[in-house]
Amino acid sequence: MARRPTPPGTPERTGVGHFADLIRHAIPPLHPAGLPFVAAPAAVAVLGGRRRWVRRTGFLVAAACAAFFRHPHRVPPHRPGVVVAPADGEIALVDTATPPAELGLGEQPLPRVSIFLSVLDVHVQRTPVSGTVRTVSHQPGRFRSADLPEASSVNERTSMVLETPEGRQVVVVQIAGLLARRIVCDAQAGDVLTLGDTYGLIRFGSRVDTYFPLGTELLVRPGQRTVGGETVLAAFGSIADA
């Protein structure tokens, strides 16, 4: 059988190169915050010498950390006026609630969706809308189980206010959980972020709350699974009414 010609301008791929491409697509890259957690146990395994249990334990811990800090590629929806999930996980709450007091947004309850992240979920956070970061605020607190309703108000958290080009404000809150001891937020006031951009990470079990403007139509229910940067949580009023 004649070999199918390679299209002009397409680099020739060898069997090894094709296999490498398959691996890159199948295995998500590592978030930079996870490098120390993977490198340390891997180094212990390499230096373990003839102690087989040390090598095995080191490599197992390194593999577990690599899985936790995985940073898969995501493709946001090409739909105007929608809000996507800022995190992978299970939707724990769909309700109305007052946004964090430290943001100074008033006491008017707003539509809210809470996503609970287990230790098995991807733990990077992604921008739910395109817009300008107006506020980033960190609030110390407790480390209660993130699936409890009161975790939104009593646990340690980092809140970010995003303003869309149309002037709508969306609040996304990273909340520490029972095992979480570190919230990473790389966004700063004045940054312009695009829908689906990775902006932060929470280590080891957590929760992410999203608050929407009044009139937003929420499109999810408790118990649903979300894919960060892809699952549509809500649509703004003008889109929902169309």
Q: Which residues are catalytic?
A: 206
C-beta atoms surrounding 146 within 10 Å: 26
Query: How do strand 131-139 and strand 124-126 relate by DSSP bridges?
Result: unpaired
How far apart CA 208 and CA 47 sit, in angstroms, is: 39
- DSSP-assigned beta bridge partners for residue 217: 235
Distance CA 205, CA 199 (A): 17
Upper half-sphere CA count for residue 192 (Cβ side, 13 Å): 1
> What's the token pair of residue 206?
């957590």
Q: Note the helical H segments in 69-202.
A: 151-154
